[in-house]
């Protein structure tokens, strides 16, 4: 009999790609999403239950009824700048929401969880970041994820919950089959914005800060293809199903690209120059974030397969061309 995974936030960008990977691997997928930032038409792999993780009673009732073998928890707000302006909104949704989910798991007797954490929990680190790098977030978004990690560990110790915490770096690219992709409004992410620069003659791509202490003065990030992330989540579910102990893994490529390099790479893929301007820094942005993902390789056997910048940008470009015609 197939196992069931409840996917909170499965109507969003990373969650929908993971739902596809889970379904392909034979899991029965049930998405739980309030559609605040997700999309009904991206829930293609299993049932959608429209619900809020802040609705404790309905969430608990849903877990009791669905009786999933595991929960994959993506539902959250995830924009650094917004978290600086609206911290309460972030603590409420991300921290209270995750606490509600853990409480519901305890009541329903669900003992396995994969959690979307983030490189934003590390803060400023110019070295290759390992899982042992101290976590000193510099924005409320990163703080909320750090608090959630601690809560998951504490609940795990007190109750029978094993977890895999995945700290991903910059999720990027879109499903190579074009079945799901990235759709945010407003869009804060750098790749969709650079692509918009190449697609829309009236839009200028703002590079947020040109005076960082990096080789070309712009921020350096580790871009990881969302389908490679989905593969890692599938492996994390299998690891827990086989009895694996609670663990935390970075998911990245070990290589950084600057925003200027990214804009040039988008220009190459698009065959058109991305119009760009250096604007002010955005508060809350560390200069460099690059992962060591050696642990995920050693324990989960995971390696990025399509996270070269060209594949990331080609798959994203194809998706945004189709979105423009939607």
Ligand X SMILES: NC(=O)c1ccc[n+]([C@@H]2O[C@H](COP(=O)([O-])OP(=O)(O)OC[C@H]3O[C@@H](n4cnc5c(N)ncnc54)[C@H](O)[C@@H]3O)[C@@H](O)[C@H]2O)c1
Contact positions toward ligand X, by CB under 6 A? 8-9, 11-15, 33-38, 52-54, 74-76, 78, 93, 97, 116, 118, 168, 170-171
- Shortest spacing between CB 148 and ligand X, in angstroms: 9
Nearer to ligand X, 25 or 43 (CB): 43
- Shortest spacing between CB 124 and ligand X, in angstroms: 17
Nearer to ligand X, 35 or 275 (CB): 35
- Shortest spacing between CB 74 and ligand X, in angstroms: 4
Q: How far apart are CA 302 and CA 300, in angstroms?
A: 5
Closest CA to 314 of 278, 274, 268, 250: 268
Closest CA to 258 of 325, 131, 170, 322: 170
Nearer to ligand X, 74 or 317 (CB): 74
User: Which token pair is 90?
Assistant: 């972030």
Nearer to ligand X, 2 or 89 (CB): 89
CB 98 within 8 A of CB 106: no
* Surface-to-core class of residue 244, CB atoms within 10 Å of its CB (0-12 exposed, 13-18 middle, 19+ buried): middle
Closest CA to 19 of 160, 183, 229: 229
To the query of whether residue 141 is one of the catalytic residues in this protein, the response is yes
Strands (E), 182-308: 205-208, 220-221, 223-225, 247-251, 257-258, 276-279, 288-289
- Shortest spacing between CB 79 and ligand X, in angstroms: 8
- Shortest spacing between CB 184 and ligand X, in angstroms: 6
Nearer to ligand X, 186 or 271 (CB): 186
**Active-site position among 90, 141, 155, 223:** 141
What angle, rounded to 10 degrees, do the helices at 56-66 and 97-108 form? Answer: 40
Active site residues: 141
């Amino acid at each position: 009999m197939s196992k069931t995974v409840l996917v909170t936030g499965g109507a969003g960008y990373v969650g929908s790609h993971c739902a596809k990977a889970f379904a392909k691997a034979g899991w029965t997928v049930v998405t739980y999403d309030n559609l605040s930032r997700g999309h009904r038409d991206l829930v293609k792999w299993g049932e959608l239950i429209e619900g809020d993780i802040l609705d404790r009673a309905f969430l608990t009732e849903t877990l009791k009824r669905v009786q999933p073998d595991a929960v994959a928890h993506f539902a959250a707000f995830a924009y650094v700048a917004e978290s600086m302006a609206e911290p309460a909104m972030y603590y409420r949704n991300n921290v209270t929401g995750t606490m509600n989910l853990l409480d519901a798991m305890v009541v329903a007797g669900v003992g396995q969880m994969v959690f979307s954490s983030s490189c934003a929990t590390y803060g400023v680190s110019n070295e290759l970041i390992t899982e042992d790098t101290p976590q000193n977030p510099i924005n409320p978004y990163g703080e909320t994820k750090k608090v959630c990690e601690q809560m998951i560990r504490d609940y795990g110790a007190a109750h029978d919950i094993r977890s895999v915490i995945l700290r991903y770096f910059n999720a990027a690219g879109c499903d190579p089959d074009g079945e799901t992709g990235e759709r945010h409004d407003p869009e804060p992410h750098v790749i969709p914005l650079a692509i918009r620069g190449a697609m829309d003659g009236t839009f200028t791509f703002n590079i947020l800060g040109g005076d960082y202490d990096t080789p070309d003065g712009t921020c350096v990030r580790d871009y990881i293809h969302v389908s490679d992330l989905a593969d890692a989540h599938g492996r994390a579910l299998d690891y827990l199903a086989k009895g694996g102990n609670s663990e935390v893994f970075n998911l990245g490529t070990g290589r950084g690209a600057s925003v200027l390099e990214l804009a040039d790479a988008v220009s190459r893929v698009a065959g058109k120059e991305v119009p760009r301007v250096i604007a002010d820094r955005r508060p809350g942005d560390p200069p460099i974030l690059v992962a060591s993902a050696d642990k995920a390789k050693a324990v989960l056997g995971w390696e990025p397969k399509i996270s070269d910048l060209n594949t990331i940008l080609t798959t994203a470009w194809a998706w945004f061309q189709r979105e423009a015609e939607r």
